[in-house]
Structure 1
Amino acid sequence: MARAKSNTSRDISDADISAISEGVVRDPFDVFGPRHRGRPGVLVAFDSYARSMEAVTPTGVITLQPKGNGVFCGDLGRRRTYRLRASDGERSWEYEDPFRFGPVLGDLDLHLIGEGTHRRLWEALGAHPITHEGVEGVHFAVWAPAARGVSVVGAFNGWDGRRAPMRHRGHGIYEIFLPGLQPGEAYKYQIRPQDGAPFLKADPLARATECPPATASRIPPARTRDWGDERWMQTRAQANSREAPISIYEVNLASWRHRDGRALSYREAAEELVDYAHDMGFTHIEFMPLAEYPFGGSWGYQPTGLYAATSRFGSADDFRALVEAAHDKGLGVLMDWVPAHFPNDAHGLAYFDGSALYEHADPREGFHPDWNTHIYNYGRTEVRNFLSANAVYWLREFHLDGLRVDAVASMLYRDYSRAHDAWIPNRDGGRENYEAIDFLREMNTLAYGEGPAGAMTVAEESTAWPGVTVPVHHGGLGFGFKWNMGWMNDTLRYIEKDPIHRRHHHELMTFGLVYAFSENYVLPISHDEVVHGKGSMLQKMPGDHAAKLANLRAYYGFMWGHPGKKLLFMGCEFAQGHEWNHDHALDWGVLDVPGHAGLQTLVRDLNTLYRGTPALYQRDADAEAFRWIDRDAAAESVFSWLRLGHEGTPPVVVVCNFTPVERNWTLGLPQAGAWREALNTDAARYGGGNHGNLGRVTADGPPRSGQPHSATLVLPPLSVLYLIPEENP
């Protein structure tokens, strides 16, 4: 190759050399590359490790003149294609100059980002392996409107913020294409704020990260795995509807089961966890948050990487394999999603560009006193876009069947958990957070409209906010389901009491039916009920060990017969003896203790009965499908009711005895003839005393309790019976 003549007649100024050396270049694509200060052919390059540098072109090699501090300058003439070759005197390296490439983002992307309406935000921002102008590399883009400059840093450039300063495109967007980078490489953004020293931040839209406690983002693969769950995706709308049987197994993947002293990987869980949940008869698995989070003790509820599946258990594709394995078994997959707050970790979103960007500047609006975390600024269009696009991202890119939205109540009220003088009223002087309300409605509209068909959203909302599960176009928040926190609190207060006192608290079990049909409810026995000194479900129960198990069997029988979808936290299905600890696996060994395996069998049978009995799920939100039989038998602590499905399906009668006394009970029934004892929580197979009715009762008695017929039956102590007519009229 011929060596071209060096030409430095058009030089670089001392001011530019100083700005490059200090890392304060305002417009890097005006300084670096083949058009220095708009002069075609004037090439400026920087490499702090180089002692000499050349531009290798198809027609020759051009020696660039050193200007000190790693700055080099030369004249390319009319050449536009070149590579840089640098040497430190002992070794040389050759690479593409990122500053010879044009921008990647188009005007439409920039317009939609600025407008806060980019429905596929993750496809525009973040790191993306692409081929640009015929060269393979990675495109980076980030939103940092208050920054004076942003650079991409990593081991590939010595974590030197002077090497890859990004092009400012307007609307606060910075971007750059770095040729030659490969998936898996770690990176961060160096932010140069308006005042003070530069600092490093992880990518808010990173789709892969280092494993905590490391905090860098990683370049994701160029493409994701191919999906093989088409049949499930085409039919899942029915499985996720309000008329479907929905029984959810809530899981903390870090502590469900350990292997060799560690948590299961996504792919190991795709076998062990999926098989277990399927065998237990659950319809859905719900994972506590799996978006990347730095502190294990937050259980995922303080995420820093909303677009990255946590690397603790494998890659994003490994998580996709877990979801697909669940779908192959007919199980839906939900994930807890946290748009209510975010932590103040230095590498995260807090003061991302040196300003209150994602959060409010005023702590009365932007700081959670309970959790020591920041609150998103839902009134900022770009922040709303970041969050709502994230909801769609998980549903589309991971085929999740739903998102359970955490801490909705804290979003709805400006004075949530605040002293009277520590919050700012809305524009009308009230406590409602209008901006959060608008965001939740927008998020739900997009989740149901932009996500794959058949997905659901579930609100953890602990107040009586009206219309949580009413569609947005009818004035509601637009969620598909809502956790029934009132039911959970009341019924647990009841079941924790000694049976001798329950007669005085009868209304705790009946009050939930006053409002049971006002929303589409999920009945949750979640992780929150078995942690922080609350004890395990077994520990909550009164009496000796046998009585505790009997009480718990009866409570689950009551729960599965009550209107509302079901959610049970892992370990509760076999009565783990101690409360949940996220650092340890569940105590599977307790299944060797008499009674625990029986309770596990009961939960399996409850799920099987529930899924096979339409009256127990079809009309959960229909008040006409529920009828009390014995509502006021407080002295005996007996409850009974009738559940109805659609026409042509057999009814179910549920009878509960919450005392340790066997009773001969005359029960009103809606039709004469034989009724099958479909389930008895006191059966020997569940660890009970095997009292009951030999599998059948006969309704041949007079009218009772508003029903046209009646039967006399045995109510075992601390038990629940399910009765189904042997012939449906």
Structure 2
Amino acid sequence: MALNVQATNTHPKLYKIRGAQYCKDNGLTTFRVYAPNAKAMCVILTAYGHEEVRLKMQKIGEGIWEVVSNQAPPGRTYLYLVDDYNGKRMLRIDPVSFSIIDIAEARQVQSVVYDPTAFCWNDQTWMMKRALTDPLRSPLSIYEMQPKLWKNGVYRPTNYRQLAPELAIYCQRMGFTHIEVFGLLEHAYKTERGYQVTNFFAPYHDNASLHEFDGTNLHASDASCWGTLYLDYSKEETYRLLFASALYFLDELHIDGIRFDAVSQMIRRQSNDISTAIGFLCKLNETIHRYYPGVLSIAEETEGYPLLSQTMGFDMKWNIGWCNDAMNLLRTPYCERSNHWQEKVLNMLYSAKHNHDKMILTLSHDDTDCHHQNPEKSLLNCVSHTQNDIERFSDVRNFFGWQTFGPSRGHMIHMGDKVAQPVSWYHRFRHGLSSIDWSLSESATLHGRTQEYIADLNKFYRYHPQFWQNGEQDFEMIYEYKPNLIVAYHRGIYNQRRMAIIHNFSNRGYQSYHISLPMWDPDIARIQKVVEIFNSDNPMYGGSGSFHNENITIVFRHGRAIIFRLTIPPLATLVLEEQLN
């Protein structure tokens, strides 16, 4: 591949010209690497971890080193030997490695020459469909998982080829529409969540360092609050490397979305909230939306930075505040919940249509990560104020109903939470266990029934456009009564069917309860019949089954429905279908 010197640094898709570029036509491999502060560079071709061939690289300008070899076919392992001006000699893996392997004999990781043409995609139909589909008007039910932890834990990592079909079948059975993978990139520390990335192109294998590649700090700036280094977006190399990494996963791996972590830290580190990271995010999101239609760009941001969609081009944002409030409500004894009714329940509902950013209601790995607070932190253990398991699991089911049907653009559940396991995924992981206690999901216990509930919840949501065709804009409040901890709201109309959602956050059930309808609702005059179509108190989910509505009475006045009279279970979510004329 003939390239001018400037192209090696300015090409937006650096992965096409950096790293080990193998040419099938002539059998040659061109090695290119950016090391502006190196005095000398060599490529070390290895066999079984030991040096076999040493190739001296030439500096071709602008910090780029290059060498061409006919001795490096696909599968060949290699390292860079870097000499700096202080007389220090370092072995480094390739920062643009597409594959990394652990060489047991050498007790180190090494880069592998890879032929990107060896795999041929056959998903053209899906890619065309994705480009023609508006993701903001489509169902979004995300399963968040970590590949190395999903099945076998840290000591028996699963092969990606074995993992993929099993994971796809499982998520299809559970009704999820998307999978969010974290810890996918090569990162430091086997006991780490995968955020300390060491290579932005290779999938996770083991520890390999990108920091101080040529003896200087090429990509980072100051230390973060997590004890790691911040990426410095004012450095052109950092900007281009991360930009190219995103395009690589879009072009070569056909991912359907990117979630940006800790956006607050990216944009607030410099005075007046002005940072080169903002320019990076704007440019990348613009590129994604222009050249990759149908791909989602999602922000995780914790400080309430306004207008992420309008100012930086994100499609959606995690509603972290909702999760904090919902989990705190679970922790609150039933007799005290009315004291927190406004901030934990009503604020989310009344603000939904007025949020400038489109929100996803998330329960992420961070939310049930034990950190240093509670070694057994989990969603189920939030309900520690009662020892009644029926109530605890009912409360958890109501939480998921609140998450799924509440006004939003979608929802996300982290692995392990769908079975309401009593011990934190991270606590199990740190003790050498699978992060998910799969024995719970395979049983007929309340844990197994919770998993079936999640599956039915996802499928119900997916098959009813009222919840996702217009997102949070298809929301209207019906009724709320703080003393009884009951709230009801509408979610959209489709084929003359409108959904009415009712949540009971108390442990009291009602055999005959009146829900007053708002007189300003223009559609109440069209209501002909109301039927219950979903009930979290169903015995198949571990509920009592004693509060099922065979018939719902409608009280009319002057031809308009004014009251629904129905049965409401304790700690439950009901979905009613209003049939309109």
Same fold (TM over 0.5): yes
Q: Deviations over 1:93-112 (max 9, x none)?
A: xxxxxxxxxxx5411xx323
Partner of 2:358: 520
Partner of 1:666: 514
Shift in Å, 1:393 = 0.7
Shift in Å, 1:207 = 0.4
Shift in Å, 1:699 = 1.9
Partner of 1:363: none
- Alpha-carbon spacing, 1:728–1:715, altered in 2? closer, same or farther (3 Å): same
Moved over 6 A (4+): 157-162
- Alpha-carbon spacing, 1:636–1:201, altered in 2? closer, same or farther (3 Å): same
- Alpha-carbon spacing, 1:672–1:453, altered in 2? closer, same or farther (3 Å): closer
**Mapping for residues 179-194 of structure 1, pairs under 5 Å:** 179-194=70-85
SS of residue matched to 1:249: strand
Partner of 2:405: 561
Q: 1:713 aligns with which of 538, 546, 566?
A: 566
- Alpha-carbon spacing, 1:555–1:221, altered in 2? closer, same or farther (3 Å): same
The separation in 2 between residues aligned to 1:195 and 1:352, in whole angstroms, is 14
SS of residue matched to 1:608: helix
For the pair 1:579 / 2:431, whether they are aligned, the reply is no
- Alpha-carbon spacing, 1:477–1:698, altered in 2? closer, same or farther (3 Å): same
- Alpha-carbon spacing, 1:518–1:695, altered in 2? closer, same or farther (3 Å): farther
The separation in 1 between residues aligned to 2:275 and 2:558, in whole angstroms, is 53
For the pair 1:458 / 2:298, whether they are aligned, the reply is yes
SS of residue matched to 1:177: strand
Partner of 2:520: none
Of 297-306 and 593-602, the range deviating more from structure 2: 593-602
The separation in 2 between residues aligned to 1:401 and 1:518, in whole angstroms, is 24
Cα pair 2:529 2:580 within 8 Å, conserved: no
The separation in 2 between residues aligned to 1:539 and 1:138, in whole angstroms, is 55
Question: 2:404 is matched by which residue type in structure 1?
Answer: W
The separation in 2 between residues aligned to 1:185 and 1:691, in whole angstroms, is 66
Cα pair 2:149 2:157 within 8 Å, conserved: yes
The separation in 2 between residues aligned to 1:719 and 1:250, in whole angstroms, is 25
SS of residue matched to 2:135: coil
Q: 1:650 aligns with which of 490, 494, 497?
A: 497
Shift in Å, 1:514 = 4.2
For the pair 1:353 / 2:353, whether they are aligned, the reply is no
- Please report the RMSD computed on the Cα atoms of aligned residues, expressed in angstroms: 2.5
For the pair 1:529 / 2:367, whether they are aligned, the reply is yes
Partner of 2:482: 634
**Mapping for residues 386-425 of structure 1, pairs under 5 Å:** 386-414=241-269, 425=270
The separation in 2 between residues aligned to 1:408 and 1:488, in whole angstroms, is 18
Shift in Å, 1:290 = 0.9
The separation in 2 between residues aligned to 1:163 and 1:594, in whole angstroms, is 61
Q: Deviations over 1:107-164 (max 9, x none)?
A: 1xx32344x4x122101000122258x5x23210001111112111132699679932
SS of residue matched to 1:552: helix
Question: 2:565 is matched by which residue type in structure 1?
Answer: T
Partner of 1:376: 231
**Mapping for residues 531-550 of structure 1, pairs under 5 Å:** 531-532=369-370, 533=374, 535-542=377-384, 543-544=386-387, 545-550=389-394
**Mapping for residues 136-285 of structure 1, pairs under 5 Å:** 136-155=27-46, 163-211=54-102, 214-221=108-115, 223-237=117-131, 241-258=135-152, 262-285=156-179
- Alpha-carbon spacing, 1:649–1:481, altered in 2? closer, same or farther (3 Å): farther
Segments of 5+ residues of structure 1 without an aligned counterpart are: 1-103, 313-344, 361-365, 415-424, 471-475
Partner of 1:310: 204
Segments of 5+ residues of structure 2 without an aligned counterpart are: 518-523
Shift in Å, 1:525 = 0.4
Cα pair 2:154 2:433 within 8 Å, conserved: no
The separation in 1 between residues aligned to 2:309 and 2:557, in whole angstroms, is 42
Cα pair 2:188 2:209 within 8 Å, conserved: no
The separation in 2 between residues aligned to 1:638 and 1:719, in whole angstroms, is 10
Cα pair 1:388 1:446 within 8 Å, conserved: no
Of 553-562 and 440-449, the range deviating more from structure 2: 440-449
Q: Deviations over 1:497-548 (max 9, x none)?
A: 1111101010211212344332111111011111223611111124222211
**Mapping for residues 426-445 of structure 1, pairs under 5 Å:** 426=271, 430=272, 432-445=273-286
The separation in 2 between residues aligned to 1:375 and 1:438, in whole angstroms, is 16
SS of residue matched to 1:256: coil
Shift in Å, 1:477 = 0.9
For the pair 1:119 / 2:12, whether they are aligned, the reply is yes
SS of residue matched to 1:204: coil
Of 215-224 and 392-401, the range deviating more from structure 2: 215-224
Partner of 2:521: none
Question: 1:449 is matched by which residue type in structure 2?
Answer: R
For the pair 1:504 / 2:339, whether they are aligned, the reply is yes
For the pair 1:480 / 2:480, whether they are aligned, the reply is no
Partner of 1:686: 541
Shift in Å, 1:634 = 1.3
Question: 1:111 is matched by which residue type in structure 2?
Answer: Q
The separation in 2 between residues aligned to 1:181 and 1:241, in whole angstroms, is 43
- Looking at both structures, which has the greater relative contact order when contacts are Cα pairs under 8 Å and sequence separation is at least 6? 2
Q: Which has the larger radius of gyration?
A: 1
